[in-house]
A = this chain, B = another copy of it.
């Protein structure tokens, strides 16, 4: 499914002699909906091996395979056998993914970063922190330079990089392709899938044959995170991109896949073919580096007028492409189109894997060692 699967570890990765030649990784918040997606996507990953699971006190000490598993894909046997540990910084591998709930992620992730872990987090807590990269590897890989400042100013031995909000990823990737034409303002209406709310998430009586025109906090995330992601890193940190974003977010009875109806005003005149080409030819560092989770084309452009559709398209390309269709003139703002992305893959766990792959390829990981920080401390 995934377009580029570079099987060999990047040159910068030091793996202890005798270890399996994969980088050990850990997972904070392993039991929730996003945590399970991380587990699923890490199964069979060519670079990473998931060897350490941590969760809140309630689940700590239990066998992972004894906890409820809510995905259609089977739980890998090797993972099922792991015992869930408590959230103790310094334990576990250097590289940890965080699927922690925002109620605990704030302090916990900081402690892990301080203790030397490279934390790739899906939580919203630190996304807008000026010293924390809010990263889409195709869009703003240069923001990883903030890691040095993090270490300097916060005194962390590790690092913290955040995954943007799911609907933000799809909007930001589409707008990133349009950067040559200087996007000035955009309206976006999202039609978001139920899996975006986790489990149990949305009550079925709210979801069935209904639309809920409100998702708490979601619109602000789209409006501010997009500006940071597209922003420029300077001496004073990231200057937000000047594009004005206005979001209306709704929940619809779809299982996976957020659809977005986007109108955008561009500062530079462009023909239909030029805009379309910008989508089609958009590439980034993950494609140059052939990172394992990178889709060959970050934006999959559809010709058929009734596509993309969540049920037909969202699983294509391993769920890592953002689908774009129906580009046409907008009488109000200039251009309009439809975007679609897989909210739990490209919008969450898959996005985290791609970030981690970029960290590994760039040599940001200090050791990429096969054991826990504690063991090597």
A208 interface contact, C-beta 8 A: yes
CA distance A100 to B308 in the complex (A): 29
Q: Render A284-316 as a binary contact track against B, CB cut-off 8 A, 1 for contact.
A: 000000000000000000000111111111011
Complex contacts, A191 vs chain B, CB 8 Å: 191, 211, 250, 252
Given A203-B200, A203-B204, A187:B332 Cβ within 8 A: yes
Complex contacts, A59 vs chain B, CB 8 Å: none
Interface size class of A (residues with CB under 8 A): 35 or more
CA distance A340 to B213 in the complex (A): 10
Inter-chain contact A315/B72, CB cutoff 8 Å: yes
Pick from B201, B212, B312, B333: contact of A203, CB under 8 Å: B201
Closest to A185 in B: B332
**What DSSP secondary structure best describes chain A's contact surface?**
mixed
Complex contacts, A340 vs chain B, CB 8 Å: 213
**Nearest-CB distance from A68 to chain B (Å)?**
9
Inter-chain contact B250/A209, CB cutoff 8 Å: no
Pick from B255, B326, B338: contact of A205, CB under 8 Å: B255
Pick from B197, B248, B309: contact of A211, CB under 8 Å: B309
**Nearest-CB distance from A116 to chain B (Å)?**
37
A18 interface contact, C-beta 8 A: no
Complex contacts, A74 vs chain B, CB 8 Å: 316
Complex contacts, A70 vs chain B, CB 8 Å: 205, 312
A210 interface contact, C-beta 8 A: yes
Inter-chain contact B246/A331, CB cutoff 8 Å: yes
CA distance A119 to B244 in the complex (A): 47
A195 interface contact, C-beta 8 A: yes
A107 interface contact, C-beta 8 A: no
Pick from B252, B263, B306, B325: contact of A252, CB under 8 Å: B252
Given A205-B194, A315-B72, A333-B332, A213:B309 Cβ within 8 A: yes
Inter-chain contact A200/B211, CB cutoff 8 Å: no
CA distance A305 to B71 in the complex (A): 16
Complex contacts, A330 vs chain B, CB 8 Å: 187, 246
CA distance A336 to B208 in the complex (A): 26
Can you show 27 pairs from A to B with CB atoms below 8 A apart?
A: A72-B312, A185-B333, A187-B263, A189-B248, A191-B191, A191-B252, A195-B205, A200-B203, A201-B205, A204-B207, A207-B208, A208-B311, A209-B253, A211-B254, A211-B309, A212-B306, A213-B259, A213-B309, A213-B325, A213-B338, A214-B306, A244-B332, A246-B330, A246-B336, A248-B326, A248-B336, A250-B259
A residues near B (Cβ < 8 Å) are: 70-72, 74, 185-187, 189, 191, 194-195, 197, 199-214, 223, 244-246, 248, 250, 252-255, 257, 259, 261, 263, 265, 305-313, 315-316, 325-326, 330-333, 336, 338, 340
